[in-house]
Amino acid sequence: MKFRALFITFNVVLILSFILIFFAPLFFMGQESFLLVVRQNILIVIIFLAFLAVFNTYFIFNLRFYSYLEKEDWNGLIGYLEERIFKKGSVRSSYIKILINSYLVTSHMDGIQKLEKHLTRKNPARIQKYAIQFSLPYLLSNNPEEAETFFNSLLEMSGTHHRDWIRWNYAFSLLQQNKETQGKNTLLSLLHITNDMVLLILTLYLLDSYSARDPDIKEQVESSAKTLRDAHPEDSWNKIMETARKKNIEVLMLSQIIKDAASWFYEKGIQARTTEASSAGSV
- Statement: residue 276 has pLDDT above 70: no
- Statement: residue 277 has pLDDT above 50: no
- At 216-246, the pLDDT tens digits run 999 999 999 999 999 999 999 999 999 999 9
Q: Residue 71 domain-assigned?
A: no
Q: Residue 105 domain-assigned?
A: no
Q: 28: pLDDT confidence band, cut at 50, 70 and 90?
A: low
Domain that residue 23 falls in: 1-61
SS3 content of the chain, % helix, strand, coil (to 5): 85, 0, 15
Q: Residue 198 domain-assigned?
A: yes
Residue at a domain's end among 61, 89, 112: 61
Q: 29: pLDDT confidence band, cut at 50, 70 and 90?
A: low
Under 8 Å between Cβ of 78 and 111 = yes
Residue at a domain's end among 12, 35, 61: 61
C-alpha count within 13 angstroms, C-beta hemisphere, residue 71 = 13
- At 31-58, the pLDDT tens digits run 666 676 667 777 877 888 888 888 888 8
CB neighbour class for 116 (10 Å; exposed up to 12, middle 13-18, buried from 19): buried
Q: Residue 122 domain-assigned?
A: no
- At 151-188, the pLDDT tens digits run 999 999 989 999 999 999 999 999 999 999 999 999 99
Q: Residue 7 domain-assigned?
A: yes
Nearby residues of 257 by Cβ (< 8 Å), 6 or more positions away: 202, 205
Residues in the chain: 283
Q: Residue 162 domain-assigned?
A: no
Q: 274: pLDDT confidence band, cut at 50, 70 and 90?
A: low
Q: Residue 120 domain-assigned?
A: no
Instruction: Give how far Cα 174 sits from Cα of 9, 107, 127, Å.
Output: 56, 25, 22
pTM: 0.81
Q: What integer pLDDT is reported at residue 45 of this predicted model?
A: 76
Residue at a domain's end among 61, 76, 100: 61
Q: Residue 255 domain-assigned?
A: yes
Domains of the chain: total = 2
